[in-house]
Every structure is written in C-alpha cells, then in structure tokens.
Amino acid sequence: MEIKVGLASCGLAAGAGEIYKAIENYLAGKEIDVTLKKTACIGMCFAEPIFEITTDDGKSITYGRVTAEEVGSIIESCLKKEPLLEKAILSPDFECPENENLGSQTRIVLRNAGHIDPESIDEYLANDGYKALEKVIKTMKQEEVIKVIKDSGLRGRGGAGFSTGLKWQFAYQNESDKKYVICNADEGDPGAFMDKGILEGDPHSVIEGMLICAFAIGADEGYVYCRAEYPLAVRHLKKAIADAEERGIIGENIMGTDFNFSLHIKEGAGAFVCGEETALIGSIEGKRGMPNLRPPFPAKSGLWGKPTNNNNVETYANIAWIILNGAEEYRKFGLETCPGTKAFALAGKIRNSGLIEVPMGTTLRNVIYGVGGGMKFDKPFKAVQLGGPSGGCIPEHLIDTPVEYESILKTGAIMGSGGMVVMDTDTCMIDIARFFLNFTQNESCGKCTFCRIGTKRMLEILNRITSGEGKMEDIDTLDKLAHQIIDTSLCGLGKSAPNPVLTTIKYFREEYIAHIVEKRCPAGVCTALLKYTIDAAKCIGCTVCARKCPVDAISGTVKQVHVIDQDKCIKCGACYEACRFDAVKKV
C-alpha cells in the first residue's frame, strides 16, 4: 500500500505536517507493507489537509479535511479492504463528491502536480520527464522546435497572450554571442497562486521547458525570477536544479551533446512592478525594478543588452507536453484562436477554492458553478475579478463569457496570469475597486507621473465616496483620470491599474450613485455609511448583543426590546454577528 500526503503551502497551512507525522507514528513498529510519500497540491486547497491511499489491488482513494486522530482508522479500513468513505473526496474507484471537480478539468500544466514527489527527479523521469528535451537536442533543429511551438498556437500565459513560438523566433533571429532565457515567477496578484502551485508541485516541468527554449533560441544561461515570499517553491526549485545538474541535464554537454546551459534563481523582493519584463530584467541586473521604454524588446536587447526570451511559469510548463505529443494534439483542446488550457487560482466566495486547469473557451459559469462548486455561502453570485489588481470586475449577466483573451478583454477585464476572485452580493464593488487601486497605487514604481499621482488622486476620490463624502462629478473625474493614466503610462501596470474602477463604474454605476446620493452602501460594507438597528418585532431580549458590544452602546433589560445608541456605536458589527434571531439589521 502507498500513502501520499500533500505538503504544499496550502496543505502545510491546514495542518498536513501533523497528518504526515501522525501517519509515521501509526506505521512505526508495525509490520505493515506501506510506503509513505510526499507530494504537493492536487489543486483542491478547499479540502486540505489531504492524503491519498493506493491499496495493493490498485484502488486509489483521496481523503480530505482529515485530522491526525482519524489517520489510524482510515488506514486500517483500507488495509481491511473496507475503506471508510465519509472523508473520501476523490477516487477513480468509488463515488466521491469531488470526482466531477477533477473530471471536468483538462490537466496539461498540472499533469504531475499532486501525483509525484516534486523533490524527486526520479519520479519526474518515470513520468516522461526530460524525454522532450532529449528528443529536441538529439533529433531536432532549432527552427523545427520553434515551428512546433508556433503550430501549437500556445500563447503566453503571463497575461498578454502573445504567440510563444513567435516570441522565440524573434530571439532566435537576433544573432549574438550570448543569449538568455528568463522564467517570470514574480506572481504578485492578490488571490493568485498558479505559479506557486506549479513550482511547488512540478518544478522540473518548468526547467525542462526553459531548457527546450534555450536550445531553440541559442541561449546558454537562464534565470528563474521567483519572489522570495514563495519559500517552498524556491526550495523545490533549488533542489530540482541541483538534481538536474547532478544528472547532467543542466550544465556542459547535456545528454552527451554540445548543448550547454546553466540556470540560476533570482529571488525578488516582492515588488509587483517587477512582473513587467523590463523591470524584471533590471532587477536581475541589480538595478531598481522600473520599466523601460520598448522597443527595443528583450528579444533584441534584454538581460545585459543581450537577446533574451522571457515567459512565465505556466507557459514553460506546457512546452515538454507539446513537444512529446505534438502541436496538433495540443490544438484539440481550447479554441482555434486560443488553443490549449489555462490554469486558474479560484479564490473568494466560492466552495471549491484552489488551483484548476480547464480548456480555453470554458465559460465563467462552468468554472464557477462546475469546477468551483458554486457560491460558498449560498448567496447570489455578483461578480468575478479576473486578471488580478490590474484586471476588471465581470458582472453576473456576463457569466457565460468564454475564458479566452479576446472575449475577456471585451468585458473591460483582462485574462492576466489567471487569478479569479469570486464575489457574492455581500461585496461592495466600490470597496473592491478601492482595494485593488490601493494595491496598484502602492506598487507603482513612480516613474510615470500619471501612474504615480493619478492613481493617488483616484484613490482619494474612492475613499471619499466610501466615506459618504462623494459628489456626482466624482464619477466623471474618475473616468477622466483613468483614461489619462492608461494613455500616458509606460508599462502594463499603469495602463491597466484603472481597470477595476472603470469596470465597476460600467457595470455597477448604481452602487456609486447609492453611495453618493443616498449615502448608503447597498452591500452593507462601507463602515461610514452603515447603521445598525434592532428590529423590535424580532428582538426577544436575550441580551447577547449587549454583552458582545465593546463600547456598551446597547441598552435593554432581559426579555425586553434592546436599543442601540447611535452616538456610541462604532459600527464594529459584533452585535450583528452575535444575534441568533436576525433582530440586528444593517441599514
């Protein structure tokens, strides 16, 4: 019997380390033929901690939301071939609640995540690892490799959606004595964790993709630019690189050929703007991460002025699969204009939060209600923030929008790298716009005047509106500033920073009017516009609200209707949360 425990960041945060120790303790001293292994995240972060048992007859069961106390009974039941299914969430052999979740996905990028030990190069090799690299460097010419990637239709998964093969071709055609390959793993979007999941779960797939790219464009050196806030991803990357070097897969005369390649890790300090490729390149060079005017593009003059190819983690993770299976096979997934799959980080008010992968063209409805399992608290779906802080909010009436670059762009949002934050009717869209604009304003490098100052002015207006001090002309001012910032900013951060504001004005204008004219927050979120009252018809005088109030703003005796003193109330919501009879109202 084999047991695998998911020890990615999400699992560890949920207590998977204790589960692993509990299994070790249970097996200690017992004469049981059980192999205990480590793996990463299978994508079902909502069900962590998770472990999988494969019995001697080949049947597999994945258990979720387990506790250390339950480990022994679960293992014993599987040894007796009478597995407990109460905590089983996934299985190809039994009816489990999340079978449809995984069954409705197409996993190319995440093909190994949650299945292999990410720290074992042997397990990667046993799953066709580095076979694509061997095929490329031993049987293909550079032009042939680039043609396969072009024919596959793979578009960069970092946000812009530019043709990967064409990008490689530009770097290949620019002759130089030195070329570089960069992997952009500077994932900084709030609510996004695609790169982290891939690097923690299958770092070798990214390395193999970079090696193939290096061969194709004629590079002999590369960098993975990974933010230091991803310590587990960095650790797995370092081990993967060291193991590949030991096996002769990275270094001199790779696999007995004349192909040489060295790979380094550059840990970023968390600047969101370094996700922009020229700022990232400057950071690797030891400079302050600030965007530069293009052209020239990095394919001509990139790292230290040499031709450089820069793709993100997910893009590189596709490459080996495409080389082994062919461009035509890859095109069977997704759309004609946008082939393949896309990984998304589902977060927010959704039941099945986690990391998923679906074919391009899948509708937002199928992602949210199919794979995602619908709304977490059974409240109506209101909007989804797509594309990170520089993305936009897509409303409920556009939920059948297909997930692909052009369709998402038409809504006013952007695909981005794949962050997807789901919101219900308890969400204030102006507060959401304010949150994301605050993020981008803080992360602006300050180089462009309108990005530096314009976003600050926009944020000040949003703060006024959510404080009940807004004016109707503020809406027009926001729109005007937004377009000035878009038109005059140098990089993608400034050009897309106003998107959350523009899309909320476009689709949720009535909320702006309610805040400004009625001095009311329809979602009951903006504290300055809130008022808590007690419904006399529902209050039974239990006194719980009064006891929970931190400022003694609630008065009343037992079994009598209570009253809130509005002058004392600090609008903390403690009474609202404590009332079991729905007597406390937010107005």
Q: What pLDDT, in 10s, does the model give residues 311-357? A: 999 999 999 999 999 999 999 999 999 999 999 999 999 999 999 99
**Does residue 521 lie in a domain region?**
no
Q: Are residues 482 and 384 in the same domain?
A: no
pLDDT at 188: 84
Q: Which residue has the higher pLDDT, 561 or 418?
A: 561
First to last CA, the chain: 58
**Does residue 522 lie in a domain region?**
no
pLDDT at 416: 83
Q: Are residues 161 and 300 in the same domain?
A: yes
Question: How far is residue 577's CA from residue 349's CA, in Å, rounded to a whole number?
Answer: 18
pLDDT at 67: 96
Q: Are residues 79 and 145 in the same domain?
A: no
Q: Are residues 232 and 150 in the same domain?
A: yes
Q: Which of 53-62, 106-115, 184-193, 572-581 is the least confident region?
A: 184-193
pLDDT-derived band at 462, boundaries 50, 70, 90: very high
| Range(s) of the domain holding residue 561 | 531-586
Q: Are residues 563 and 414 in the same domain?
A: no
pLDDT at 296: 93
Residues 522-542: tens digit of each pLDDT: 999 999 999 999 999 999 999
Q: Which residue has the higher pLDDT, 303 or 491?
A: 303
Domain CATH number, residue 28 = 3.40.30.10
Q: Are residues 176 and 71 in the same domain?
A: no
Give yes or no for a contact between 521 and 426, defined as CB atoms under 8 angstroms apart. no
At residue 226, the 3 state secondary structure works out as: strand
pLDDT at 156: 94
Residues 21-31: tens digit of each pLDDT: 999 999 998 88
pLDDT at 461: 98
Asked if residue 158 has pLDDT above 90, the reply is: no
pLDDT at 113: 96
Q: Are residues 183 and 299 in the same domain?
A: yes
Q: Are residues 293 and 345 in the same domain?
A: no
Asked if residue 562 has pLDDT above 80, the reply is: yes
Domain CATH number, residue 351 = 3.10.20.600
Q: What is the mean pLDDT of residues 60-66?
A: 97
pLDDT at 587: 82
Q: What is the mean pLDDT of residues 205-221?
A: 98
Last residue of a domain, one of 330, 357, 386: 330
**Does residue 113 lie in a domain region?**
no
**Does residue 175 lie in a domain region?**
yes
Q: Are residues 389 and 455 in the same domain?
A: no
Q: Are residues 392 and 408 in the same domain?
A: yes
Question: How far is residue 343's CA from residue 110's CA, in Å, rounded to a whole number?
Answer: 8
Asked if residue 363 has pLDDT above 80, the reply is: yes
Domain CATH number, residue 542 = 3.30.70.20
**Does residue 523 lie in a domain region?**
no
Which amino acid is residue 450, in one-letter code? F
pLDDT at 20: 97
Q: What is the mean pLDDT of residues 370-397?
A: 93
pLDDT at 190: 84
Residues 288-298: tens digit of each pLDDT: 999 998 899 99
Last residue of a domain, one of 292, 311, 330: 330
pLDDT at 387: 87
pLDDT-derived band at 4, boundaries 50, 70, 90: very high
**Does residue 526 lie in a domain region?**
no
Q: How many helices (H) and strands (E) does the chain have?
A: 25, 18
Asked if residue 159 has pLDDT above 80, the reply is: no
Residues 224-252: tens digit of each pLDDT: 999 999 999 999 999 999 999 999 999 99
Structurally, how many domains does the chain consist of?
5
pLDDT at 199: 97
pLDDT at 191: 83
Share the mean pLDDT of the chain: 95
Asked if residue 151 has pLDDT above 90, the reply is: yes
Question: How far is residue 551's CA from residue 196's CA, in Å, rounded to a whole number?
Answer: 43
Residues 90-128: tens digit of each pLDDT: 999 999 999 988 888 999 999 999 999 999 999 999 999
- Residue 377 sits at the vertex; the CA angle it makes with 371 and 380, to the nearest 5 degrees, is 80
Question: How far is residue 11's CA from residue 5's CA, in Å, rounded to a whole number?
Answer: 9
Q: Are residues 129 and 212 in the same domain?
A: yes
Residues 504-523: tens digit of each pLDDT: 999 999 999 999 999 999 99
Q: What is the mean pLDDT of residues 409-428?
A: 92
Buried b or exposed e, range 384-419, using 16+ CB within 10 angstroms: bbbbbbbbbbbbeebbebbbbbebbeebbbbbbbbb
Domain CATH number, residue 278 = 3.40.50.11540
pLDDT at 100: 87
Handedness of CA 355, 356, 362, 365 (dihedral sign): negative
Asked if residue 417 has pLDDT above 90, the reply is: no
Q: Are residues 127 and 219 in the same domain?
A: yes
The structure tokens listed for 415 are 């695909």
pLDDT at 390: 83
